[in-house]
Structure 1
Amino acid sequence: MKRRTFLIGSAGLAVGASAGLMPSFAQDAKPEKPALTLGVGGKPLLYYLPLTIAERKGFFKEEGLDVTINDFAGGSKSLQALVGGSVDVVTGAYEHTIRMQDKGQDITAVCDLGRFPGIVIAVRKNLEGEVKSVADLKGRKIGVTAPGSSTALMLQYALLKNGLKAEDASIIGIGGGAGAVAAMKSGEIDGISNLDPVIAQLEFEGDIKVLLDTRTEAGTRELFGGPNPAATVYLKREFAEANPVTTQRLVNAFMKSLKWIGQASPADIADTVPQEYLLGNRDLYMQAVKNSKEMYSPDGMVTKEGYDSMMGVLKTLDPDLANADVAYEKTFDPKFVQAAKT
């Protein structure tokens, strides 16, 4: 687990947020809990770029927050940390809110970061003659960021959609950085379900053949039939209720980040992220950003259509959720995003 602490300064309001839109409690009040601990699973992934931008551009600082970021091996680990109380908030997959609500735990998203998963399923290049589609992955070893993570979920759903069982491929956790690239290059795994910049590097170096790509709306609709919310900011509802100003300021920072990403060039982004994120190839990283830019949320909102798409995936994939009755409103609280919007 990597641990990064960012010392943050004075408070500020969301860029462009008018007095009429900002909830009265967040107008001039100080954050109730300015020192926050945030969990994430694989921070260097472009899936979590809005978090890195909020950190590097000082948006947390502008909102009066002191954020300590714990980077876990995968999204399921950061969820466990939230449930266990070792982090206050998580940037992680939207589907976790549905799962936890079904278990009676009131965890809700307060800002959408990604409207498409951005996940790519690919096979080792020397297997492309044998593995021509997801349907040919039966019996293969497939690397994911971590078992139980969104990369594993999408792989299992794709297997089902292609006439296989969710367990027909062996799922192996390989992380989301250089270790994932090495696992593919060494032949430790036959295929991969992962994100940029890992996928972009493997593509650039000719190591993989892409079978399924959800970095774009077209690829996402091909698999899911609609949008499919990906990375979100989620927390326990009791935290938001006890710390409404803090929660608003946190969402303000992420909305600033989404706005900045929407206007930034790939070069701007490459200049902003830590050098190690570039994996030794700046041009390659910029291409990865270009490939993934469409997936970031333009407005921070999880739509009802997106919820329906994700609920359909979970009902199909998880027998425990086949008859789940979780209201859309329990999984996403829009008021903080609505207040931060221009």
Structure 2
Amino acid sequence: MPSIRRRDLLTAAASVALVSSLALPALAQAQPEIEFLYSPFADYAPFFVAKEMGFFDEFGANVTLSPKGNTAETIQMLASGNIQAGGATWGAGLFNALDRGATVAIIATMARMPDTVPSPSPFMVSQKAWDEGIKSVVDLKGKRVGIPGPGGFGMFSVAKALEKGGLTIEDVEAVYLPPPATAAAFANGALEAGWSIEPFAGQLEKQGLGRRLVEDHTFGTELGLIAFNQDFVTANEDAVVRFMAGFLKAARLLDNGGWSDDKILAIVSKYTGTEPDALRGIPYTIRSEDGAIDMASVREQEAFFRKMGALEYEGEADIDAVYRLDLLKRANELVAGQK
């Protein structure tokens, strides 16, 4: 009997050690490095906050944040294994990659459009065009409209805005350029209107270069997702769970009034290159509290790109095959266990 009790005690001790290991920051050095690709937009703020306020460290995640070029670059680098994780938008490139069997795992939502105005991603008209009489969407027929890329959220968002005036993408001249370049294009008259996102939208307003034309076109739309290299996830599930726990803690802080904290504004300023005062009070993207993705919104975007002729497959992409809800659930449990 004594030997049985000893074995039971050893088993219990091992179980406690296993559970505790997920919450001990001291083990962070033992975790593989996760290099995360980000864009200098306000919707990436949870990652900046988790890094700078030590939330990744709290959960034992070893994280490096690296700036990226575009969503297509992120998916390509993830699929090839050149990077471990990154933020991406739902778009034709991602849907096609998933159908081809790209080794990408989707973990959670990154950002979602709120159901209120002002919008963190408004469709804007240049002040110059406004002064010349373009004061509604219908006035944009045949005009130049800025879009960040041909197959991503920006394209979907612009199409939804144009619908407000009975127009389609085919009714305007699409000009592909990144949001930071919109200011110069508005100033020199190269664009009449275009997609934007914070903090750039607020800057356009403050500089007197642009004004909001449509803001109620993408209420509740899933904007971005958190993706990992699938092989990395398979080999390092605990590391992914730790990373996600740090993200969730930071996201909840932001979504529950954190943006009023000067320390947080300074952190976001550091990564976006925007002055803290320019970030104060701007509209922000949100997330579901548990990080779950609204698949109805995703399917709406998939249907849009199919209608555009941008998808290479029939039917729906098998997102469920790569959506790791099990790891997201573990991350939520890890955050809850900290209380």
Identify whether the pair has TM-score above 0.5, normalized to the shorter chain. Answer: yes
The CA deviation string for residues 301-323 of structure 1, in whole angstroms up to 9 with x for no partner, is 10333333333333333352673
User: Number of paired residues?
Assistant: 307
- Separation (CA, whole Å) in 1 of partners of 2:199 and 2:145: 18
Q: Percent identity?
A: 20
- Separation (CA, whole Å) in 2 of partners of 1:299 and 1:253: 12
Residue of structure 1 in register with 2:63 after alignment: 67
1:285 is the counterpart of 2:274: no
Residue pair 2:85, 2:228 contacting (<8 A) in 1 also: yes
Instruction: Calculate the TM-score normalised by the size of structure 1.
Output: 0.76
Instruction: Calculate the TM-score normalised by the size of structure 2.
Output: 0.76
Residue of structure 1 in register with 2:121 after alignment: 119
1:253 CA drift (Å): 1.5
1:258 CA drift (Å): 0.7
Residue pair 1:31, 1:249 contacting (<8 A) in 2 also: no
Residue pair 1:108, 1:236 contacting (<8 A) in 2 also: yes
- Separation (CA, whole Å) in 1 of partners of 2:208 and 2:190: 17
1:230 is the counterpart of 2:223: yes
In the TM superposition, 1:245-284 aligns within 5 A as: 245-263=238-256, 264-268=258-262, 269-275=264-270, 277=272, 279-280=274-275, 282-284=276-278
Cα RMSD (Å): 3.3
Distance 1:64 1:26, change over 3 A: closer
- Separation (CA, whole Å) in 1 of partners of 2:167 and 2:292: 33
Residue pair 2:108, 2:328 contacting (<8 A) in 1 also: yes
In the TM superposition, 1:71-110 aligns within 5 A as: 71-95=67-91, 97-110=94-107
Residue of structure 2 in register with 1:141 after alignment: 144
- Separation (CA, whole Å) in 1 of partners of 2:198 and 2:205: 10
Residue pair 2:75, 2:104 contacting (<8 A) in 1 also: no
Structure 2 spans left out of the alignment, 5+ residues: 1-14, 115-119
1:198 CA drift (Å): 0.5
1:339 is aligned, of 316, 330, 339, to 330
Residue of structure 1 in register with 2:32 after alignment: 34
The CA deviation string for residues 274-298 of structure 1, in whole angstroms up to 9 with x for no partner, is 3474634x3332122xx125x3333
Residue pair 1:240, 1:247 contacting (<8 A) in 2 also: yes
Structure 1 spans left out of the alignment, 5+ residues: 1-18, 222-226
The CA deviation string for residues 242-286 of structure 1, in whole angstroms up to 9 with x for no partner, is 211111111111111111212313343313323474634x33321
Residue pair 1:152, 1:171 contacting (<8 A) in 2 also: no
Q: Match of 2:267, as an amino acid?
A: T
Q: Match of 1:312, as an amino acid?
A: A
- Separation (CA, whole Å) in 2 of partners of 1:153 and 1:312: 10
The CA deviation string for residues 87-135 of structure 1, in whole angstroms up to 9 with x for no partner, is 1111111346433222222423202121228422111123235434444
1:244 is aligned, of 213, 217, 237, to 237
